Chain A
Amino acid sequence: MEDNRPFGRPPPPLRYPMDQHDTPNDPAAATVTPVAARGLTKHYPAGKTFKTVLDGVDLTIAAEESVALLGRSGSGKSTLLNLLAGIDRPDDGELILLGRPLHRLAEGDRTLMRRRHLGFIYQAFNLIPTLTAAENVGLPLELNGWSRDATTRRVESLLAELDLHQAGDAFPDRLSGGEQQRVAIARALAHDPALVLADEPTGNLDSVTGGHVLELLLARARRGGQALLVVTHSLAVARQADRMVVLEDGRLTAGGAELAW
């Protein structure tokens, strides 16, 4: 049977666990592959049968690499993102995050992995409406037990970097779409995660603002040494990433994906 997987040949065996790298800002963590998935499969019930949303997906993202994930609506992009984030479990396959088998970890450990090593950016921003911009950015730091002063310094620095120093005390409903997404980026990067997952980060923004936000995200991720997976419909957005992969009918097709798309 022909191997249709995007990498042509089976990936090397996955290495885990590597608990000694399980702390943020640990220089050694950067040397470990942030995420490596092999054979990820996910089904959802559809009436009396099951629909296969992901069918044996293999994907590895190296440190400091940005990958664009393209796919039509319903192709399973969000499901893949949820699996990579550990907020959903695969029905089959392996998923190694920073050397640890995320698919085997208990809910509590997966939560801690997300808290320490992942950053999220959503199309709908998903800022906490009851917190100010600065408090939203500081939230992952506080969850990670940063001191009050360290959190304040970090938040101020990020807000300044993302040109949001005037918006720190504003609640999300008082900010423009572009500003909200920049706050979301700041929140995703605040704790220096190894992997940032962005789901249609420019989907709710006009093209100029979207372009600016994407530029900012890519530049900031590169500068911070973070791996980045951007889910998008837009080829223009995808082209700015180091690599593109396409999800179609539950399978990743790469190689000539750019042309095929």
Chain B
Amino acid sequence: MVNPLLGGLVRASRRYLTRHPWNLMLAIAGIGLGSAVVIAVDLTNSSARTAFRLSMEMLSGTATHQVVGGPRGVDETVYATLRLRPGSPPSAPVVSGTVTLGQRTYTLMGIDPLGSGAFRGDLEGMGDGVVERLLVTPGAIMMSAPRASTLGLERGDEVVLERAGGAHTATLAGTFRTANPAARDGLLVADIASAQELLGRVGRLDRIDLILEPGEEQAVADSLPAGLRLTPAAARTEAGARMTEAFHINLAAMSLLALLVGAFIIYNAMTFAVLSRRPLFGQLRVIGVTRGELFRLILGEALILGLVGTLVGMAGGIAIAQGLIGLVTRTINDLYFSLTVNQLLVSPTVLAKGMLVGLGATLLSALLPAREAARSEPVQVQRRSAVEAPMTGIIRRLAMVGIGLFVLAAGLLAVAPRALVPAFGALFMVVIGFSLLVPGLLVAGGRLLGPLLARVHPPLGTLALRGITRSLSRTAPAIAALTVAVAGTVGVAIMIESFRGTVELWLAQTLTSDIYVSAPESSSSRIAGRLDPALMASLESLPGVAATSRGRRVTVESEHGAVEVLALAMTDRGDRGFRFKGPVVDDLWVGLEAGDVVLVSEPYAWRHGVAAGDRLELFTATGWRTWRVGGVFYDYGSDRGLVVMHQPAYAAAWEDEAISALGLTLAPGEDLDTVMARVEERVAATAPAVRVRANRDLRAYSMEVFDRTFAITRVLRLLAVGVAVIGIIGALLALHLERSREYGTLRAIGATPRQMGGLIVLQSILMGLLAGVLALPLGLLMALMLIKVVYLRAFGWTMQTLIGAPLLAEAVALALGAALVAALYPAWRIARTPPAITLREE
């Protein structure tokens, strides 16, 4: 049977909220905003991960294993040999690359239409004469039926496929159906021979897919020629996932920052929803409502508010995520892998998680005020001071817990000196710890500012300041939210600026040539193309060129998994543009040129615990071979790590004489533009797809990619501040709604509307100023932890710490501006409300 008293309580609660729509809206908006940002980042992150997985699955099909080679891939004759061997397992050749059709990038995958059926069960509709057409029509391709329909293409239509090497005409031979969105939106299928031709990889395969029964692996591996390896298909996907892991962790950290800001806002909204009804709760207690009933009523109400708020947050989160996904996939495309899916994939799991986070934060936020309201004596519940009195008492305890969290964070970093997750844990402990110090710091700040304000702006200065320091239950969470948001901005901005400065310096030191000539990339795995030897010779002999360097950048297998190798040959030894971290071997340059020493980049050394003097095994054309590590150099080009070796040694080990980039250094006094014109002229005549860039352009391009990489971080930062601003507006409104009677009294004794508006604005400015000033030490601390701990552990990069005074001033201005924006509506509202209304009893 339903408790009749409970029904009455629920009615009283419901009517209170519907008669005070502002309170209701504030609570729902606070919860909605807090959860929206978390859901948005989580959705974006999970969409990018799913897109990555689907893209990998699209390429892998149902293969269990793959035969892979070195930088030049696999010779196609290996496939023929493998296939013709009696009792050989099902196998299929694969060559793939990225092409552009219209405005969109697609993965073009070459398969054996007759032999790949078992592998491409995910692509339906490959029968019906399509196979024949793929085989006999030159440049025949297939795409998914929905994509063909979107593009308005029908069988037999011609399309132009562009890739870095030039444009090719292809014919749509048919369509397939697939459940994989990556394949549906971004896959083109062609016969292997057509694909090789379109991608400029005639005679070569990326890999051979195999379906092996358990126990067959060893026999197949043993039968492979030297320079080829058998690997499980899943290993490729896992390696890819590892590749972007740090990036995703970085995004997750930003979402946690948003969650933290959101949690403060939810806490604010919920405490207001409870505190503003203290008189009602007092009356209920007076008429016999028990503590338990009151506690359950408040928590039940929080549950409902949380549900509604989180649903609002879900809608908002999906909308924000729609805007973020493009930025995230672009970054992944820039840095890691060509994703063919770039739409938002709304995952029910993420939404459920967001719902749990929103509800959890709401209930946790409601717990403290609900417990406090339920435990107080009826007469106390009706008094506001009853809330603030214990609040001042717990400031010391909060500060102690805050300091305890700092100590814990330090301990965590010491106990786990390399792991990333504890580093984030420590970072968040520091942020939460500092937030707990905020009430105490506000009181201290109030003591400092009080005499000044009393002298400069009596009596409103004192009123404004006391309004903050004597209502800490309301103002401290709001200021803490703004402090954390602005500190996050300061921390991340210093980190980005430090990183940017470091990369700029590194580029200036590393890019020692004046002109760079590079071959177009030719596949989705970014295997660099090759420059024509005759063209290189011609360019190297140009008048005005004093020195040259030749390079080839490829991906090879190391004992620690796939690694990029940069093979360099320089005519001018100079300092070679390397800066080393720690000691180097004595015979560094001699050993390097002799071909038995390699250099490893800092991220590689960090990830795999490699140091100068250690051994490193790489899989060459003749199998595994060992090199000596000569030193660890600073490199910010790849977070996956880079191994540098002498080009002739590389060419011998991988039987690959190709060069993919050429650097030209001008003789002193030569005019760059004149030599550039000569280079461009020769390139245009023989290989128009080859790219020519001046040193300054390459640097500018690198910085452009850098800035694009951090676009998402900047957006998330702004989102966190935006949430905090709206939170502050909510907090101010709540504060002022609560004080309307006090304002009525002030108006009655002669404060003008203008003075009332000024009081609100001054109070808000003080809140902004306090938040801005408090954000500086926290922001600096966050920046140091991001640079010295988090980014080092995530990516293995040592960065300089560059702290610009304008950036710090901007942070304070941001907090002030945010608070000022937040004050406008409450100031307008309070100033225009007649005192008779505010003084009227409820």
Contact = CB atoms under 8 A, between A and B. Distances in A.
Interface of A: 82, 85, 87-88, 107-108, 111-112, 114-116, 118-120, 122, 126-131, 135, 138-140, 142-144, 148, 171-173, 187
B470 A126 contact: no
Nearest to B832: A107
5 contacts: A87-B834, A107-B753, A112-B752, A120-B749, A143-B755
A68 to B, nearest CB: 21
A187 B459 CA distance: 14
B750 A112 contact: yes
Contact of B742 (A119, A120, A129): A129
A87 B463 contact: no
Interface stretch (B69-77, B321-329, B381-389, B527-535): B381-389
A88 B840 CA distance: 11
A116 B750 contact: yes
Contact of B459 (A111, A114, A120, A138): A138
A108 B752 contact: yes
A155 to B, nearest CB: 12
A139 B459 contact: yes
A128 B385 contact: no
Interface in B746-763: 746-755
A122 B745 contact: yes
A130 B470 contact: yes
A120 B748 contact: yes
B661 to A, nearest CB: 69
Contacts of A131: 459, 462-463, 466
A20 B534 CA distance: 104
Interface string B353-388: 000000000000000000000000000000111001
Contact of B384 (A82, A107, A115, A129): A129
Contact of B470 (A82, A143, A171): A171
A143 B383 contact: no
Which of A107, A111, A187 is the most central at the interface, judged by chain B CB atoms within 10 Å of its CB? Answer: A111
A174 B573 CA distance: 82
Nearest to B743: A128
B147 interface: no
A127 to B, nearest CB: 8
A118 B835 CA distance: 15
B839 interface: yes
B458 interface: yes
Contact of A140 (B388, B463, B750): B750
A140 B383 contact: no
Nearest to B835: A87
A131 B748 CA distance: 17
Which of B385, B741, B839 is the most central at the interface, judged by chain A CB atoms within 10 Å of its CB? Answer: B839
Contacts of B455: 148
**Shortest 8 CB-CB contacts between residues of A and residues of B:** A115-B750, A173-B385, A130-B466, A142-B459, A88-B836, A126-B745, A87-B835, A130-B470
B467 interface: yes
A112 B755 CA distance: 12
A130 B460 CA distance: 11
Nearest to B742: A128
Given A87-B839, A138-B459, A173-B385, A126 B741 contact: yes
Given A111-B752, A143-B751, A173-B385, 16 more contacts: A107-B753, A111-B750, A112-B752, A114-B749, A126-B744, A129-B384, A130-B471, A131-B462, A131-B466, A139-B746, A139-B749, A140-B749, A142-B459, A143-B755, A148-B455, A172-B385
Contacts of A128: 463, 742, 745-746
B459 A143 contact: yes
Contacts of A148: 455, 458
A129 B748 contact: no
A97 to B, nearest CB: 13
A140 B389 CA distance: 27
A130 B392 CA distance: 14
B385 A111 contact: no
A182 to B, nearest CB: 17
Contacts of B749: 114-115, 118-120, 139-140, 143, 187
B750 A144 contact: yes
Which of A88, A129, A140, A171 is the most central at the interface, judged by chain B CB atoms within 10 Å of its CB? Answer: A129
A142 B751 CA distance: 10
A118 B745 CA distance: 13
Nearest to A141: B459
A135 B751 contact: no
A5 B383 CA distance: 43
B748 A135 contact: no
A177 to B, nearest CB: 12
Contacts of B384: 129
Which of B459, B742, B749, B836 is the most central at the interface, judged by chain A CB atoms within 10 Å of its CB? Answer: B749
Contacts of B744: 87, 126
B744 to A, nearest CB: 8
Interface string B814-842: 00000000000000000000111001000
Contacts of B754: 108
Nearest to A126: B745
Nearest to A188: B749
A126 B385 CA distance: 14
A82 B836 contact: yes
Nearest to B465: A130
B805 to A, nearest CB: 35
Contacts of A118: 749-750
Which of A115, A127, A128, A171 is the most central at the interface, judged by chain B CB atoms within 10 Å of its CB? Answer: A128
A143 B755 CA distance: 10
Given A87-B834, A122-B745, A139-B459, A129 B752 contact: no
Contacts of A139: 459, 746, 749
A14 to B, nearest CB: 23
B746 A142 contact: no
Contacts of A107: 753
B833 to A, nearest CB: 11
Contacts of B836: 82, 87-88
Contacts of B834: 87-88
A185 to B, nearest CB: 13
B474 to A, nearest CB: 12
Contacts of A171: 385, 470
Contacts of B458: 142, 148
Given A111-B753, A126-B741, A129-B742, A87 B748 contact: yes
Nearest to A190: B749
Interface string B83-114: 00000000000000000000000000000000
A143 B463 CA distance: 12
Which of B742, B834, B836 is the most central at the interface, judged by chain A CB atoms within 10 Å of its CB? Answer: B836
B750 A143 contact: yes
Contacts of B742: 126, 128-129
B467 A130 contact: yes
A130 B463 contact: yes
Contacts of A119: 749
Given A82-B836, A171-B470, A135 B745 contact: no
A108 B747 CA distance: 11
B442 to A, nearest CB: 13
Given A130-B471, A142-B459, A171-B470, A111 B746 contact: no
A108 B836 CA distance: 15
A157 B389 CA distance: 30
Contacts of B385: 129, 171-173
A116 B741 CA distance: 21
Nearest to B751: A143
A148 B745 CA distance: 22
Nearest to A116: B750
Nearest to A128: B742
Given A111-B752, A130-B466, A87 B459 contact: no
Contacts of B467: 130
B836 to A, nearest CB: 4
A190 to B, nearest CB: 10
A119 B745 CA distance: 11
A107 B835 CA distance: 11
